[in-house]
Amino acid sequence: MRGGTERIRAGRSAGAGAPLLRPGPRVVLLAAGLLLAGGCRGVPRSLPLAAVVPPGTEDFALDPLPVPDRARLRDRVMRVGRVAVVGVRPGEPAAAVLAEVFPDRVAPGAADTVVRVLPAPGEPESFRLRVGAGTILLAGADEAGRRWAAETLRQLRVRARGAWWIREGEIRDRPGFPLRGGKRPLLFEARYRANLSYEKGLDDPRFLAAGRTRFVPVLSPGGELDATEEGVARAERFFRRWHARGARRFAIEFDDVPFGLTPETRDRFGGYPRAIAHYLRECRTRLRRIDPGAVLYWLPQTYWSHHPLLPRFARDVGREGGLPPDLGLVLTGPEVVSRRIRAEDLERVRRAFGLTRKVLLYDNRGREGDHGPLRGRGAALPRVVEGIVGERGEVLNRITRLDYAWNPRAYDPDRSLLLACREIVGPAAAPALAELADGAGRLPALRAHHLYREVRRRAAPPPRAPVSVDRYLPRVWASLARKVDIDSASQDH
């Protein structure tokens, strides 16, 4: 069972058994020598966690988000002085992140903290991280895994007492869903393990640079399906154009359109089930010729599991020869915007169409300006879902959605909301913002005023708050406006 963070109290070891990463003798000797040579005069090498975070925040100030698969974190922090990063390849995403985490990197001979980047076996995007004894060991199965390890290191870091500190401990991590992203992606989401851009943002090279190594171009044939040779050839040209730009996953969408046919298609096939079955089989064949490993998804008109026409539509398509078994379905859940999504409902739709590939979940929750945490998504979804794509959503909803997508078994909506608020305003103000964002807060006017000022201050330049909160939390500000004069508060900034 995928777990969360196991807290180890100060003074205890970082975990029994074999360490996650074993530094070689050369690294250990180098780190030991540097520890004796360097350091800030009068500042200790290690402190209790409570000594460097705001009072009362010890339980969440330096906890990773998304929640790791397995973690043994100590309630102590290690001081980081001059840093040498060794083993990272120039140009890979982890190098850029580590340059932000440690902006004062120097040559190994002048360092007193060594960050060692290593390859490691494991599934795609998995990583291992260990902090302690003056060394930071970071290993990933691939470039994405090393990048996520570096992003996790960023969240274990804090500035206090005139120095940088990093929480000690060990983490082993891996993704719950292979695909995690959005239809209208924002750059900041890459910091929380987003790796998929669905339909939008494909022309923006920043998404690839930010770690979005997968994207899904979408073909929308419209309300009159052309299943003739010309219609299939048009789809093939679409596949070839986007395949040349790096796409390996494609979708054909029929959302919110009728079951219409062009006159030529109706003359040849007679009805919609026969036409769509032929069209999708041919499209899958043409795409396989371009790239045998490419994936094709289909979003039908009946894209929610409680659609009244779905059983009959699936039965009629099956009678007309059926669909390629490896075709992927794009579904939203039981409704267009679903409060709860169950694995058995999605599995029922997949079986009805005779398909074997896991579903791509097009989760519309958040499109109505929801700023609270993602709820109603259980731990069993990975059994039938390979990825989650969100549409719109304010920043808190987006961060908690990615927390769930990375580790659904350990996902706790209330905890996720608290950590997401911490990412925006820092530990001290996070509980008040989480209380307000979740709709249960009754903040006194003065407290709301100070919270607003804090969010405004933190939402601009710091890397931990990479988005405009004024833009992505409008309902929070509307609620605040009822408690305090927002306009007068903003004049101070």
Which pLDDT tens digit goes with each residue over 176-235?
999 999 887 788 888 899 999 898 655 555 555 544 457 899 999 999 999 999 999 999
Residues 422-426: what's their mean pLDDT?
Answer: 86
Sequence-distant contacts of 418-422: CB under 8 A, at least 24 apart = 418/60, 419/60, 419/63, 419/65, 420/65, 420/373, 420/395, 420/396, 421/396, 422/60, 422/61, 422/65
179-410 folds as: TIM Barrel (3.20.20)
Ranges 174-183, 441-450, 461-470, most confident: 174-183
| Local confidence band at 2 (pLDDT 50, 70, 90 cut-offs) | low
pLDDT band at 477 (very low <50, low <70, confident <90, very high): low
457: pLDDT strictly greater than 80: no
What residue ranges do the domains of the chain occupy?
5-173, 179-410, 417-490
Mean of pLDDT values over 46-75: 95
Alpha carbon distances (Å) from 351 to 311, 323, 378, 384: 11, 11, 20, 11
Residue 172's pLDDT band (cuts 50, 70, 90): very high
Closest among 373, 365, 276, 284 to 320, alpha carbons compared:
276
- Specify burial of residue 254 (Cβ count, 10 A radius: 0-12, 13-18, 19+): buried
8 A C-beta contact, residue 189 and residue 398:
yes
**Which of 259-263, 374-378, 410-414, 480-484 comes out lowest in average pLDDT?**
480-484
According to CATH, the topology of domain 5-173 is: Chitobiase; domain 2 (3.30.379)
Per-residue pLDDT reduced to its tens digit, 87-103: 988 888 899 899 889 88
How many of the other CB atoms lie within 10 Å of CB of 424?
25
Average pLDDT over residues 74-86: 91
Q: Tell me the average pLDDT of the chain.
A: 83
Q: How far apart are alpha carbons 370 and 474 in whole angstroms?
A: 10
Model confidence band, residue 1 (pLDDT cutoffs 50, 70, 90): very low
pLDDT at 345 over 90: yes
Confidence of residue 354 (pLDDT cuts 50, 70, 90): very high
- pLDDT reported for residue 21: 37
More confident position, 372 or 282: 282
Cα distance between residue 293 and residue 425, in whole Å: 43
Is the pLDDT higher at 79 or at 482?
79
Mean pLDDT value of segment 265-294: 97
